[in-house]
Structure 1
Amino acid sequence: MKTFGEISMKKSLLALAALAAISGAAQAQSNVTIYGIVDMALQHQNTGEKAGATLGLDSGIQSGSRLGFKGTEDLGGGLKANFQLEMGVNADTGSSAQGGLAFGRQAWVGLSGDFGSLNLGRQYTPAFIAIDSFDPFGTGMTTGTAGSGTSSFGAAHFFGGPSRVNNAINYNTVSIDGFTGNLFYGVGEVAGNTSGNRYIGLSGAYNAGPVFATLAYTSAQNATGTNAKKSILLAGTYDFGVAKAHAAYSTIKDDGVPTPIDRRVWLLGATVPVSAAGTIVADYIRSTVKNVGDANANHLALGYTYSLSKRTNLYTSISRTANDANSALGSDDSGATFHPVTPGANVRLVNVGIRHKF
């Protein structure tokens, strides 16, 4: 005859076994990850303003500070449901980035499987993903706005186009021998005008061994559908082991009013590991405008990153943009405070920062 203690112990073991089974099944079906980045830097910038240079302690200089949630659910037969919600954070003030949006960086849900993936919501454009892939600075550390959180934009400031689009339908193929493709459509949601605010993006990429190459096309309309901005981007990198070479070329045509713009942009860059923890990065960008006189610009940047661990690193960079009389590049306006560039000014930016990923 079993004692009361033996019966109680058996019931407890059965309860624990049932709970473990339920928990294991739930984890096998669905997985949610909380992640983020906190990035802070001391920046000094001179944009040619009459007010003079600005010294700021800013957030998101190498990588935008963020808090995100992403997850996947196994639906069986190789089909999965996926989502991602990512908010930008100005760590210098504690406020929300991207104009105060709750999840201004990304907000989408979709399905993936042997066919690739199809996602719906606010997402990165194919062109921005391409720029982030070839920019030695990873669309950060240069062309920022000192005094404004989440202010760096790197090479994306010169190659143009929005980094994210609302109401987007985004299809990505699976990788076939290193080749992938991306079809992106942003629904404009303008009543009675299907082309108003419409965004179309196409890209293809090859990534195998030391070679990465990408080709991206963009067509973006204004709210009335009468002002198109189109671009074609060809870029790539080659890893020699001792250093990685970066190169890009883009044509950008904007039917802007009152002055249309026909721009060409080139980039040459390098990533050079100098130790197990330290890396030097550098790039040169040339922007020329064919249909406007004295509207060219040259950009030169040099940076260094040092890893303290797998998740924490220090960084510093110095950059200079030299503008012709009718050019005003070199300072991004995505921050809370826009520091305008005086046409013809030489824009200089120096920063020293720390980035932690979790």
Structure 2
Amino acid sequence: MKYVITAALALTAAAAQAQSHVQIYGVVDAGVLAEYGTPAGNTTGIGSGLASGSRLGFKGSEDLGSGLSAVFVLEGGYHVDTGAMGQGGLIFGRQAFVGLRGTFGTVTVGRQYSPYYQAIRDVADPFEDGMAGQATNLMAGNYRMDNSVVYATPRVAGWSAEVAYGAGEETDKLAVNDARKRQFSGMLSYTQGPLLVMLAHHHREDALLPDHVRHTALAARYTLGDVMGHVAVADNRGLAAERSRDVLLGVTWKNGPHRVLLSAIARNDRSAAQRDARQLGAGYLYGLSPRTDLYAAYGHIDNDNGAAFTVGNATDSGNGNAAVNLGLRHIF
């Protein structure tokens, strides 16, 4: 009898393992960061997460039957140079969500990347929002949405969409604006062969004022052999109805272990202040293996009429108008 019980338990465990999957993953990234034109002059130090934010994550899924699966992600950032936690000390400050996936698409709830940010990172930016040349030095990122519900459709005939709502969950005691901190974000995507196009929008209510900011971006990426071209145009509306427009042109060249990144971004401030800015970025990565690479990058911003944009990297907004990155990244 005990052999029958043992065999039954073994079969049950094997079935559970076949239906559930949990993966531990992460990034370890560190390097030398030199900044120029900072309030303290030129500085050099060790930085963490220059190309990609260092992180430790857990993600998994469980087959619930009839084509339905439960999915989750818990991902926290950390600083390699000090061992401190990232994202202001949050345990899972990068992502934390749970949801269901099926033939209808995917619905997730928690702290998640906005659809707008994914359009900038995955399509527009050759630097994929990392290193000194990253697009979000000038362009809005709208990175993560707390208290959010996200729905992503299946891809049909090359088309897909994603919409997100982030509850502000902040009570206005003066009853001036009950919508404070709410966010809405969405993206419409089309892919056909080497072409990928995304139209994205993000709307965020201000935390203090009865006002909002919004961004709309059209981004495209086209692959031709070893070369990938990037282009994006974004229209921005800030507080007090301030308006600006961003234009990005970029190139990614891949050949064996070599990857070269180039981009140019221009911001046109359409207000009377005319605080325009222009950024040039260049990067090089050498793959030591599929999971480990060496990288070098340079970014420089020209600010006009008191504009104060700075050159940052994947985990830091930067302090000066130019920067050089030299680093090593390992993905596991």
2:120–2:141 CA contact under 8 A, matched in 1? no
TM-score under structure 2 length normalisation? 0.93
In structure 1, what is the equivalent of residue 10 of structure 2?
A: 20
Counterpart AA for 2:158:
G
Aligned positions of 1:233-252 closer than 5 A? 233-252=217-236
1:282 aligns with 2:262: yes
In structure 2, what is the equivalent of residue 196 of structure 1?
A: 180
CA-based RMSD of the aligned residues comes to: 2.0
TM-score under structure 1 length normalisation? 0.87
Deviation at 1:26, TM superposition (A): 1.2
Counterpart AA for 1:142:
A
Offset from partner CA, 1:137-191 (integer Å, 9 cap, x none): 0000116xxxxxxxxxx21232214200100010000111221101100001122
1: distance between equivalents of 2:278 and 2:139? 13
2: distance between equivalents of 1:18 and 1:56? 59
In structure 1, what is the equivalent of residue 249 of structure 2?
A: 268
2:51–2:313 CA contact under 8 A, matched in 1? no
Aligned positions of 1:289-328 closer than 5 A? 289-328=269-308
In structure 1, what is the equivalent of residue 93 of structure 2?
A: 104
Determine which of 38, 57, 68 is the counterpart of 1:68.
57
User: Which deviates the most, 184-193 or 58-67?
Assistant: 184-193
1: distance between equivalents of 2:239 and 2:154? 35
Aligned positions of 1:1-358 closer than 5 A? 17-49=7-39, 51-134=40-123, 135-142=125-132, 154-191=134-171, 193-224=177-208, 226-256=210-240, 260-273=241-254, 275-332=255-312, 340-341=319-320, 347-358=321-332
Offset from partner CA, 1:49-76 (integer Å, 9 cap, x none): 2x21111211111111000001111111
Cα distance change of structure 1 residues 15 and 313 upon mapping to structure 2, 3 Å threshold:
farther
For this pair of structures, how many residues does the alignment match? Answer: 327
Cα distance change of structure 1 residues 61 and 98 upon mapping to structure 2, 3 Å threshold:
same
Moved over 4 A (4+): 332-336, 338-341
Indicate the structure with greater strand content.
Answer: 2
1: distance between equivalents of 2:327 and 2:100? 38
2:52–2:315 CA contact under 8 A, matched in 1? no
Flag structure 1 segments of 5+ consecutive residues without an equivalent.
1-9, 144-153, 342-346
Counterpart AA for 1:85:
L
Deviation at 1:261, TM superposition (A): 2.3
1:47–1:339 CA contact under 8 A, matched in 2? no
2:310–2:319 CA contact under 8 A, matched in 1? no
Offset from partner CA, 1:288-325 (integer Å, 9 cap, x none): 10113341111001111111111111111111111112
Identity of aligned residues (%): 38
1:188–1:198 CA contact under 8 A, matched in 2? yes
Deviation at 1:339, TM superposition (A): 5.5
Deviation at 1:241, TM superposition (A): 0.8
2:129–2:313 CA contact under 8 A, matched in 1? no
